[in-house]
Amino acid sequence: MTEFNKRLQELESLAPDLFGGDFLLTWENSLDNLKAVMLVAEMLQMLHKKKIPWRIFDYGLAISIFRDNSTRTRFSFASAVNGLGLALSELDEVKSQIAHGETVRETANMISFLTEVIGIRDDMYPGEGHTYMQEVADAVSEGHANGVLAQRPTLVNLQCDLDHPTQSMSDLLKLKDYFGGWDALKGKKIAMSWAYSPSYGKPLSVPQGVINLMTRFGMDVVLAHPEGYDLLPDTLDTAKTFANQSGGSFTHVHSMAEAFKDADIVYPKSWAPMAVMQKRTELLKQGDKQGLKDLEQHCLAENKRHMDWECTEDMMKITKAGNALYEHCLPADISGISCEHGEVAKTVFERYRLHTYQEAGYKPFVIAAMIFMSKVRQPVTKLSSFTR
């Protein structure tokens, strides 16, 4: 367990302040907090590979609230809470009293009597997801402070309109492993690029999460997208700030080729323009079905103007030594497999397919580590006990 002990020592050198808190946005957390979560994730993964249990609960519930479809994150959350010793229950809002007008404040307390953690995915509508998570957090804090709840559940962001922390931290752990450590990432160029998709309405949280996390670790981050496919301005500002603090860089361009040139890592991923997502939210609130159909057709036509934004073999040839690492949060729109024309050529995806699986494979442990650090006052002591 040499590598396990190395990470224990590194964890001991940090000063995280995660105990008793939630994990909602990476950019609200210190570098020590981020490193601590990722170190614990690596150690839990090591224990899992040796079939060593890492339970910290004897009983209790984990509640998941998915307001959007999910495969990887849904099953990663289930795996994480099971490994920690909790039973999982999913809140189906259609089958609950929420459908009859029950408030968020009431629901949050009613689901939390024996609940240790609540994982929420609410990623589709700008200005909505993160706000909802904060509302749930405030409600359970009030319930705990007033003796309604014996414990305050930890909230974990499983993707919101702003950030997808469990994904971006899994992405970073793959890079750490691939290149050989945190220091090896400094100066590495990563192209976070929009890519064509034959669908619309994909959230902005993945690119926003990537540019705000990778800049924290001294990387040279290039954001690329066609004119009009903007991210939230605040997330660009924070990425610039983080790059200045870490000695990395943050560049914003409107050319996939420019972003890919000499890149060490490429991350071609479709997302909807911010203005489109805002308009979509308005139409949904109004119940304007025809307006939504018209918006979709307009957006699909706009996407088709940029079908050349694809991660092809030719595009990969201009990366560093023609051998950049391809990353994706999955599922990717694979040309000739999942769609006729999409984000990535099938030959490129197949070459890196197992790498993307490994990338996704960190997510259960990242989620578990977020919960672990919130619930365990002395994480080094507890982790040490698992190997005795």
pLDDT tens per residue, range 236-274: 999 999 999 999 999 999 999 999 999 999 999 999 888
* 157 shares its domain with 173: no
The CATH number covering residue 248 comes to 3.40.50.1370
DSSP per residue, 65-129 = EESS--SHHHHHHHHHHHHHT-EEEE--TTTSGGGGT--HHHHHHHT-TTEEEEEEEE-SSTTTH
Same domain? For 343 and 374 the reply is no
Question: Confidence band (pLDDT; 50, 70, 90) for 64?
Answer: very high
Report the pLDDT value the prediction gives residue 388, as an integer from 0 to 100.
Answer: 86
- Please report how the helices 233-246 and 205-214 are oriented relative to each other, as an axis angle in degrees rounded to 10: 20
Least confident of 86-90, 279-283, 312-316: 279-283
Specify whether the CB–CB gap between 313 and 301 falls below 8 A: no
322 and 203 together in one domain: yes
Looking at residue 156, its amino acid is: V
pTM greater than 0.75: yes
Same domain, 237 and 297: yes
Alpha-carbon torsion (168, 169, 172, 177), positive or negative: negative
Tally the domains of the chain. 2
Mean pLDDT within 206-221: 98
Task: Based on the fold, state whether residues 179 and 267 are members of the same structural domain.
Answer: yes
The least confident of 40-54, 96-110, 349-363 is 96-110
pLDDT beyond 90 at 42: yes
For range 154-182, the mean pLDDT: 98
Name the nearest CA neighbour of 309 among 209, 210, 197, 211.
Answer: 197
Which has the higher per-residue pLDDT, 67 or 363?
Answer: 363
- How many angstroms separate the CA atoms of 301 and 289, rounded? 19
- 45 and 31, same structural domain? yes
Tens digit of pLDDT for each residue in 69-116? 899 999 999 999 999 999 999 998 776 776 667 899 999 999 999 999
| Domain interval for residue 128 | 2-163+363-385
Q: Mean per-residue pLDDT for 4-23?
A: 98
237 lies in the same domain as 258: yes
- The pairs formed by 240-244 with CB atoms below 8 angstroms and a separation of 24 or more are 240/215, 242/27, 242/212, 242/215, 242/216, 243/215
180 and 129 both lie in a single domain: no
The percent of residues in the chain predicted with pLDDT above 70, rounded, is: 99
Same-domain status, 323 and 356 = yes
Does 328 lie in the same domain as 198? yes
| 368-377 mean pLDDT | 98
